[in-house]
Amino acid sequence: MSATLRPARSLADELRARSDENLRELFLLRPDLLSPLPTDITALAARASAAPSIARVLDGLTTWEIQVLETIAVLSEPVSMEALLAITGDNAIAPVVKFRALALIYMDEEHIRILNSVRESLGPEPAGLGPVGFGAKDRWLKKIDAAPPAAQAMLEKLTWGPPRGTVSDTKKPTSTISWLMENQLLVPIDGQTVALPREVGIYLRGNKVHRERFDIPPDFVGKELALEDVDSAAIGAVLEILHHIEELLHFWAGEPAAALRSGGIGVREIKRASDELSLDEKYLVFIAELAFISGFLVLHNDEEFLPTTGFDLWRNKTLEERWVELATNWLSTSRVAGLVGKSERGYIAPLGPEIDRSAIAHIRRVTLELYAQISPTTVDVAALAERVKWERPRRAFGNHHDYVHWIAREAQWLGFSGRNALTSFGQALLTGNADLGMQKLLPKEIDYIMIQGDNTAIAPGPLQLDLAREMSLIANIESKGGATVYRLTDHSIRRALDNGRSSDDIKTFLGKISKTPLPQPLEYMIADVGKRYGKLRVGISFSSYIRCEDQSLVAQILVDKKLSHLQFRQLSKGVLMTEGDTHEAIDALVEAGYFPALEDRDGALVARKHDRARAKTKARPPRISVDYARPSDDLIGAALRALRAGDKAASHRKSAPITTGTPSETMGTLTLAIKSKATVTIGYADTDGGLSERIIEPIHLLGGILMAYDHGSDEVLRFAVSRISGVAIVE
């Protein structure tokens, strides 16, 4: 702590003696104490001693700090610093200072006193030691060495815990149990249970509380790298994940993923998307979860998952803004994508309800903070898992190592780390620095492509947003990285035609942005697809019809076995009828190799935009689990003023109790206080009928309104005299 505190008889006494700087430190360490603002020091002490708040503090302690706290808890009060260090060593000094700053302990003269709520939170048998014994030490100490062999064997078995043993009947014990109980080396707990007294256990452990001291944290350092290399490797991952999220959501916009009845998406849908986009299934699940927690993907009508309009807004942001949004959501989410797959209880579905873990957000941040400690050195992930367990033993879970490995893997995928070391912009985001420095690392956007003779086009850098979208419509992306490779095919050209482009529009666009001339075969392909496109027209009606002036093409469709399930009937020359869905008919014709176009009832072409489907359901991202945010200086300042004012009011309540008087008496007392510049305590009724006590300095009184400086809010406020129930001058 920043200042020495005076001895105290209770936690409230110590908190009352703390300076504003000391209390500010407490609020920064335990921000939950400010919600809501405490009214006085007594209320603050009660809240700091509450079990939920204590549990939250203990969850943030390291293994060594827990060991020191357990040692304090098992020693007989009052605990001297000398007695504690005799067991723990000098490395316990720093944890003791921290415990005092956290208000887990307080000093009574030269002795340490621990809060009862802390004892209770540590459990009934801290460090595996039993209950406190009641016998004289000199008596049982002499008996240990003289104990019969059977009794010594039983004591040895109970020494390192658990300290309890089961017997048939404590009132009719065996000779060994009887000897141990008579000499106070065992104490009965109930009719069938005996326990090794705490003092005996510590003696048998060789004046130790823990078998092994974990005062030195495990190392997790790997190979040292240059930060430039780390950032360079991570920027590629950033560009890829932004692109892949767009690809996935465009795919699901055209072909929505069906939802399982139990929630989430099934194996078949994940495999279909994985095959279509050529992405690893685990990686695909991760980016789907990122889109889900960001509100870009939502369950629509309880039937299927569709992108939201939030996805379109996100696409219009800069690359850095898009990455920051994803990374921030990942940091705070309580969902664990690594859990998806087969488990002992069956299949755990992505986007389902079974992958929520409340502690993961805290573990994720601790893991990345450990990355930051050694950046740009790489992390040994297996050793890192052990270090995370040491850092947060109370938050560790069964498959703890798996969770840390998943965090490390996802940090690589997201570009938070590169080559298993934390990036400069990842560290900046972690510390809340608004200037990430990412923009200078991203390749500059370009406005051109180079078309090759094999119908591919290369963009040697990220295309400007509008150009990239148009190219994604006209061509298929084959690879993405520093350079993007597009391939133009019959189907990609038809997709552009479906979205309202003409063949001339496509050639004009490509000719405008390409630094190389359009190859003749590509021009022929675009013209040929444009010529064939629209010969076959599928109409929008109560049922679907197909219209075509080419009779040979109509005859071909009627005998095509790939289309037999549509059960076409010829209504007239050049017109076919099917009872199937319009879009189902178009999809079947496209798969069979035809180039149908959609038309309305008037015969006008209708653009068929495959990737524009959006959910009408409002996005409701899953809940997140985060620690309390760091309180602002303004909030801490308000809390300190409220505490001092509340304590001042409490100290004067006995000497100058607020008395209820007539309105004229109240006015008289207030007038006197204004003239003498005295401080007064008033009882004041708020608009809800609640009564509170305020310490104020009256300034002037006019028309039934009192203007006064309020010590609690540190503001000059207006008080209606009619609401003042009583007043007392503070001496």
Could you tell me the strand order of the sheet in which 476-479 lies? 450-451, 456-459, 484-487, 476-479
Mark out the alpha helices in 102-218 (DSSP H runs): 116-122, 137-145, 149-159, 175-182, 198-204
pLDDT the model gives residue 541: 53
The band of 561, judged by pLDDT with boundaries at 50, 70 and 90, is confident
The band of 597, judged by pLDDT with boundaries at 50, 70 and 90, is confident
Amino acid code (one letter) for 708: A
Residues 424 and 498 in one domain: no
Residues 522 and 541 in one domain: no
pLDDT the model gives residue 630: 83
Q: Among the three residues 476, 508, 531, which one is the final residue of a domain in this structure?
A: 531
The band of 548, judged by pLDDT with boundaries at 50, 70 and 90, is confident
- Which of 407 and 398 is assigned the larger pLDDT? 407
Residues 187 and 256 in one domain: no
Element (H, E) at 9: none
Q: Which of 70, 76, 72, 101 has its CA nearest to residue 84?
A: 72
Cβ(114)–Cβ(72) below 8 Å: yes
Instruction: Sort strands 596-599 and 536-539 into parallel, antiparallel or unpaired.
Output: parallel
The alpha carbon of 169 is separated from its chain's Cα centroid by a whole number of angstroms, namely 51
Mark out the alpha helices in 210-294 (DSSP H runs): 227-254, 267-277, 281-293
- Look at residue 682 and tell me if it is in a domain: yes
Asked which of 269-278, 593-602, 603-612, 703-712 is least confident by mean pLDDT, the reply is 603-612
- Look at residue 620 and tell me if it is in a domain: no
Give yes or no for residue 600 having a pLDDT over 80.
Answer: no
Average pLDDT on 453-477 reads 85
> Per residue in 562-594, pLDDT tens?
887 777 877 777 788 886 677 777 778 877 888
Cβ(722)–Cβ(704) below 8 Å: yes
Backbone torsion region of residue 360, taken as left when φ is above 0, otherwise alpha when ψ lies between -120 and 50, otherwise beta: alpha
Across 93-102, 398-407, 535-544, 672-681, the highest mean pLDDT is recorded for 93-102
The band of 2, judged by pLDDT with boundaries at 50, 70 and 90, is very low
Q: Please measure the distance between the N-terminal and C-terminal CA atoms of the chain and give it in whole angstroms.
A: 34
Q: Which of 531, 523, 469 has its CA nearest to residue 497?
A: 531
Q: Which of 160, 221, 223, 627 has its CA nearest to residue 386?
A: 221
pLDDT the model gives residue 652: 61
Give yes or no for residue 234 having a pLDDT over 90.
Answer: yes
Q: Among the three residues 430, 459, 480, which one is the final residue of a domain in this structure?
A: 430
Residues 236 and 354 in one domain: yes
CATH label of the domain that carries residue 555: 3.30.780
Give yes or no for residue 718 having a pLDDT over 50.
Answer: yes
Segments forming the whole domain that contains residue 175: 137-204
- Look at residue 110 and tell me if it is in a domain: no
- Look at residue 60 and tell me if it is in a domain: no
Q: How many domains does the chain have?
A: 5
Amino acid code (one letter) for 195: A
pLDDT the model gives residue 114: 94
Cβ(48)–Cβ(72) below 8 Å: no
> Per residue in 441-461, pLDDT tens?
988 888 889 999 898 999 888
Q: Among the three residues 531, 549, 567, which one is the final residue of a domain in this structure?
A: 531
Residues 567 and 547: their CA atoms lie apart, in Å, by: 15
3-class DSSP state for residue 718? strand
Q: Tokens for 670?
A: 């207030």
281-293 vs 319-332: helix axis angle to the nearest 10?
90
Residues 232 and 360 in one domain: yes
The band of 91, judged by pLDDT with boundaries at 50, 70 and 90, is very high
The residue with tokens 């007695």 is 83
Across 307-321, 463-477, 520-534, 640-654, the highest mean pLDDT is recorded for 307-321
Give yes or no for residue 5 having a pLDDT over 80.
Answer: no
Give yes or no for residue 27 having a pLDDT over 50.
Answer: yes
pLDDT the model gives residue 3: 43
DSSP letter (8 states) at residue 632:
P
Residues 264 and 390 in one domain: yes
pLDDT the model gives residue 534: 66
Residues 18 and 101: their CA atoms lie apart, in Å, by: 10
Integer CA distances (angstroms), 650 to 55, 127, 511, 658, in order: 30, 41, 82, 11
Integer CA distances (angstroms), 636 to 18, 36, 628, 642, 648, in order: 15, 12, 14, 10, 18
Residues 199 and 201: their CA atoms lie apart, in Å, by: 5
Residues 725 and 684 in one domain: yes
Residues 166 and 238 in one domain: no
Query: What does the buried/exposed string (b/e) look like for 301-318 if buried means 16 or more CB atoms within 10 Å of the residue's CB?
Result: eeebbbbbebbeebbeee
The band of 94, judged by pLDDT with boundaries at 50, 70 and 90, is very high
pLDDT the model gives residue 116: 92
Give yes or no for residue 723 having a pLDDT over 80.
Answer: yes
- Look at residue 292 and tell me if it is in a domain: yes
Per residue, the 3-state secondary structure of 343-373, as one string, reads: ECCEEECCCCHHHECCCHHHHHHHHHHHHHH
Cβ(486)–Cβ(460) below 8 Å: no
Average pLDDT on 87-114 reads 93
The residue with tokens 């030269």 is 110
Element (H, E) at 715: strand 715-720
The alpha carbon of 670 is separated from its chain's Cα centroid by a whole number of angstroms, namely 53
Q: How many CB atoms lie within 10 A of CB 646?
A: 22
Query: What does the buried/exposed string (b/e) look like for 656-673 if buried means 16 or more CB atoms within 10 Å of the residue's CB?
Result: bebeeeeeeebbebbeeb
Element (H, E) at 260: none
- Look at residue 365 and tell me if it is in a domain: yes
Give yes or no for residue 134 having a pLDDT over 90.
Answer: no
Q: Tokens for 426?
A: 């990842």
Average confidence score pLDDT of the chain: 86
Residues 408 and 473 in one domain: no
Residues whose CB is less than 8 angstroms from the CB of residue 332 and which lie 6 or more positions away in sequence, other chains included: 361, 624, 625, 626
Residues 173 and 290 in one domain: no
Residues 521 and 554 in one domain: no
Q: CA 644, 649, 652, 653: dihedral to nearest 10 degrees?
A: -150
Burial class of 676 by CB neighbour count within 10 A (0 to 12, 13 to 18, 19+): exposed
The band of 660, judged by pLDDT with boundaries at 50, 70 and 90, is confident
> Per residue in 410-434, pLDDT tens?
999 999 999 999 999 999 999 999 8
Element (H, E) at 580: none
pLDDT the model gives residue 693: 76
Integer CA distances (angstroms), 427 to 240, 319, 374, 378, 418, in order: 20, 18, 11, 14, 12
Cβ(620)–Cβ(560) below 8 Å: no
DSSP string covering 615-631, please?
--SPP-PPPB--PPPPP
The band of 1, judged by pLDDT with boundaries at 50, 70 and 90, is very low
Cβ(109)–Cβ(79) below 8 Å: no
- Look at residue 39 and tell me if it is in a domain: no
Residue 715's DSSP bridge partners are 710
> Per residue in 338-355, pLDDT tens?
999 877 777 899 999 889
The alpha carbon of 126 is separated from its chain's Cα centroid by a whole number of angstroms, namely 31
Residues 503 and 595 in one domain: no
The residue with tokens 């941040």 is 365
Percentage, residues of the chain above pLDDT 70:
90
Could you tell me the strand order of the sheet in which 79-80 lies? 79-80, 111-114, 105-108
The band of 436, judged by pLDDT with boundaries at 50, 70 and 90, is very high
- Look at residue 414 and tell me if it is in a domain: yes
* Half-sphere exposure for 610 (CA within 13 Å, toward CB): 22
pLDDT the model gives residue 498: 78
Asked which of 117-121, 212-216, 625-629 is least confident by mean pLDDT, the reply is 625-629
Cβ(165)–Cβ(173) below 8 Å: no
The alpha carbon of 437 is separated from its chain's Cα centroid by a whole number of angstroms, namely 24
Q: Tokens for 63?
A: 């293994």
pLDDT the model gives residue 466: 81
